[in-house]
Chain A
Amino acid sequence: MRRFLLLAALMLLAGVVAWWGMRATQGPPPAPSAPEVIAPAPPAPRQVAVYFAREMPDGRFVLTPVQRPLANPAAPATAALQALVDGPTSAEERDGLLPTLPGGTRVLGVRVEQSEGDGSVAIANLSRELAENFNGGSGWEEIVLYSIANTLDALAGVDAVRLQVEGAPVESIGGHMAANELLRYNDRIVVRGQDR
């Protein structure tokens, strides 16, 4: 009789073990309504960095970031781009900073899209004056292009920037640099205030 009891207990144990085993390999079934991963909302930024040009003693141009308070934390990309259009303050200009965008350039819109393989792409739509009033060489074109790209790429939640003029991609804004490709943060031409 004791052998039967033992056998019965063993069967029960086996059943429970099997049940736990299956549970362990399968994991708990996901609740149908709740999403699997809830990404925490990033803290709203209070400032944005805006990249203006500066001429170095050796004559080359670089980009230098300056901070701007963010009035509307819900739309940092638009605010940052608008600050770029507005240009440096007169104090900053006395310190050697130069505006980068050609005169008359307006922000038509900025939106951030999720792109396959490229992450979050900020699509910056600027007015035709960006290309029409551009009056520089290839070096200055790089500065103009990356003042936009770096300003947006530096924002949390932006991985790359795509440029549009009047709502459409353009081959180039000045005839030297490719403007129809994804632009990523260019550290090579950045000199921060304290680096000088």
Chain B
Amino acid sequence: MGKAVRSAFRCALVIGFLAVWMAPRPAAAATPRVVIGDRTAPCEPPPVLIDGEVHVPLAFRYGSLPIKVDSDGEVVIVRGPGDLEARVPLVLHEGHAYYAIARASAGVQLNARWVERLQKVFIAPRISSVRPDAGDRVLTLRVTTAYPVTYRVEKLADPPRLLVEVSGAQLYTDATTVPVARAGVRQVRAAQYSFDPSVVRIVLDLEGAARYRALSAETTTQIRLRIGVPADPSDADLDRLLEAPDAEAVLADVAGVGVEYDDQGNTRVVVRATAPVRGSVVRLQSPPRLAVDIPNTMLRAEPPLITPGTPFVAGVRLGQFQDTVTRVVVDLSNEVEYALSEGADPGTLILNLRAVLGLVPRRGLPGLTVMLDPGHGGSQPGTTGVSGRKEKELNLDVAKRVYALLESAGARPEMTRGSDDTVGLYARPGMANAKGVHVFISIHANSTGQRVGRARGIETYYCHAHSLPLARAVHRQLVSELKAPDRKVIRRPGLVVTRESKMPSILVEIGYMNHPEEDRLLGTPEYRQRVARAIFNGIAVYCGESVGQEDLESREEESVPNEALAGAGASGEEGQ
């Protein structure tokens, strides 16, 4: 009997060990996967190991963190919360572009951990510190990350412990133990959970069953817990200490950030907090950006998605800049003037952005730099009129007339071409940007593509919202001066010259060359002079007053003659 049992036992032992030994090992060819937080994320092509480092394809994104490649195509730049930035080399591998995810993550307060056993790379907010501050009776545990994380607390018995489990997080190290030996806490151990590497477990080894109070919300960038071990079942003293007011309590959570813009050239970044807050703005360069610091707040907002074409704003990043300071970084696409104010709703901060010229109204034409861009030229004739006239000649003629009017008014005009030259489409805004002119005006004539068409009238195009006041001013002058059909001011994002110019820039279509009557008019020097005068008047109206709409309209109604306008800038209106 004894022998049989012993051999059965041995047999079971062997089978048990065999079962463990025979457990399948990761196949060498298994496809590596990416886990973001605690969820498997799509990654195509899958990550690869290059020189022992996990690399992910360039298309891979962590949430909404912006990724771009520098102009040389060699460095991948990842922007993180607050104002963090990571730069890692772009690596080409089997026809795809990759970057080292662990290094890129580390630069933006994330952590990427490669778990070979699972063939997975875990990417999650980095827990940068686990700090126990122990008093005689109460220990305060602080766990800090740069992005909001979610946690739960559980009491464990035999032996008495308190478990703080943070899901979708990565610890700065594999495991760490901090000895305490105060307030009933022996030590604090923190480790990446080996059975689920998307979880960080923080265990407090205790002298007895704990009482605790969570000071932070369930989702936060700083977990704070007060922990104590009662000396006897009714330890009112401890309860009083645990329930004492929270001196570190922040006033508010930053709960939402949005970007709004109107067609008047105003863009607003709106920060909504759960209580009234104050903020301060710092302007930073390379890349140009504004950082709004909001003290006494914790971040729980997600960064807003920025639609392409949003004036001034290329992106918005959020982060816990310091323990209780939220930082909102606004990446700028254009030069701006800004002002931070408190909104009408309590707890709202509004960062107003406007074009530099739009905010600082110029007084009159003297000194105004204008880049005039006669469309087409050289080998690119543009459209051909009913009469056979080429658009490039018409554009140049009108631009020269505007040039003369501007010059005589004391403005400083420039031309992208002064004769029948071929000029690249991108070179035109390039010249305006390089010279830093105040306004850019591209002069074109229209056609519907057929030899003869019915369409006639004036169209004015712009791209960025800060160009709209200029577009309206010039368009109104053209329509009223020429008594031509108003075919409206239209936003056309694909137009290269207005899209690529950094200053207020427009493209005017001064009439249809495939409309017989308009083509005939455009053929007369008198009509072309009126076109030029209207464009000139529009520029004068635009820069002569503040760009508020009422101002524009009242000024237009006055129908000030050019000569008077030109003089006004130099003398009378200067002091207004």
Contacts and interface: CB of A to CB of B under 8 A. Distances in A.
B5 interface: yes
Contacts of B461: 138
Interface string B353-396: 00000000000000000000001100010111000000000000
Nearest to A131: B380
A140 B509 CA distance: 12
Interface stretch (B169-177, B226-234, B446-454): B446-454
A59 B59 contact: no
Interface in A123-146: 134-140, 142-145
A12 B15 contact: yes
A177 B459 CA distance: 15
Contacts of A116: 57-59, 96-97
A172 interface: yes
B492 A25 contact: no
B19 interface: yes
Contacts of B59: 116-117
Contact of A138 (B17, B444, B457): B444
Contacts of B454: 55, 59
Interface stretch (B27-35, B180-188, B322-330, B535-543): B27-35
A137 B8 CA distance: 92
Contact of A9 (B12, B19, B27): B12
B343 interface: no
A29 B16 contact: no
A138 B16 contact: no
A30 B31 contact: yes
B29 A172 contact: no
Contacts of A98: 449-450
Given A11-B16, A14-B16, A30 B30 contact: yes
Contacts of A136: 383, 446-449
B192 to A, nearest CB: 15
Nearest to A171: B425
B509 A137 contact: yes
A95 interface: no
Nearest to B426: A171
B22 interface: yes
- Contact size range, A: 35 or more
A41 interface: no
Main secondary structure of the interface of B (DSSP, over half): mixed
Nearest to A19: B19
A137 B513 CA distance: 9
Contact of A25 (B13, B195, B451): B195
A61 B8 contact: no
B447 A137 contact: yes
Interface string A5-22: 101110110111011001
A175 interface: yes
Nearest to B61: A117
B159 interface: no
A68 interface: no
A15 B20 CA distance: 6
A175 B384 contact: no
Contacts of B514: 135
A23 B23 contact: yes
Contact of A26 (B24, B485, B490, B509): B24
A60 B490 CA distance: 11
Contact of B29 (A1, A32, A178): A32
B447 A5 contact: no
A192 interface: no
B118 A25 contact: yes
B388 to A, nearest CB: 12
B561 interface: no
A22 B31 CA distance: 17
B58 A29 contact: no
A23 B20 CA distance: 11
B445 interface: yes
Contacts of B15: 12, 15
Contacts of B117: 25-26
A185 to B, nearest CB: 13
B495 interface: yes
Contacts of A11: 9, 12-13, 16
A19 B31 CA distance: 22
Given A26-B118, A137-B448, A12 B12 contact: yes
B31 A15 contact: no
A137 B446 contact: yes
A124 B456 CA distance: 32
Contact of A22 (B23, B375, B449, B507): B23
A26 to B, nearest CB: 6
A22 B25 CA distance: 8
A175 B375 contact: yes
A176 interface: yes
B29 A8 contact: no
A28 B30 CA distance: 10
B2 interface: yes
Interface in A29-43: 29-30, 32, 36
Interface string A100-115: 1010000000000000
Contacts of B11: 8
B191 interface: no
B277 to A, nearest CB: 38
A29 B27 contact: yes
Contacts of A28: 24
A19 B23 contact: yes
Which of A102, A139, A143, A174 has the largest count of B CB atoms less than 10 A from its CB?
A139
B487 interface: yes
Contact of A140 (B1, B27, B376, B448): B448
Contacts of B12: 8-9, 11-12
A5 B5 contact: yes
B449 A23 contact: no
A153 to B, nearest CB: 14
A140 B12 CA distance: 83
B444 A176 contact: yes
Contacts of B485: 59
Contact of B447 (A22, A135, A171, A177): A135
22 contacts: A4-B6, A5-B8, A5-B9, A8-B5, A14-B16, A15-B18, A15-B19, A22-B23, A32-B29, A55-B455, A98-B450, A135-B514, A138-B495, A139-B448, A139-B492, A139-B509, A171-B425, A171-B426, A172-B496, A175-B375, A177-B494, A178-B425
Given A11-B12, A12-B19, A178-B425, 15 more contacts: A14-B16, A16-B16, A18-B20, A19-B23, A29-B26, A60-B487, A100-B449, A116-B97, A136-B447, A137-B459, A137-B509, A138-B495, A171-B496, A176-B375, A178-B496
Interface of B: 1-2, 5-6, 8-9, 11-13, 15-20, 22-24, 26-27, 29-31, 57-59, 96-97, 117-118, 195, 375-376, 380, 382-384, 424-426, 444-451, 454-455, 457, 459, 461, 485, 487, 490, 492, 494-497, 499, 507, 509, 512, 514
Top-6 shortest CB links A-B: A15-B16, A137-B446, A15-B19, A8-B12, A136-B449, A22-B23
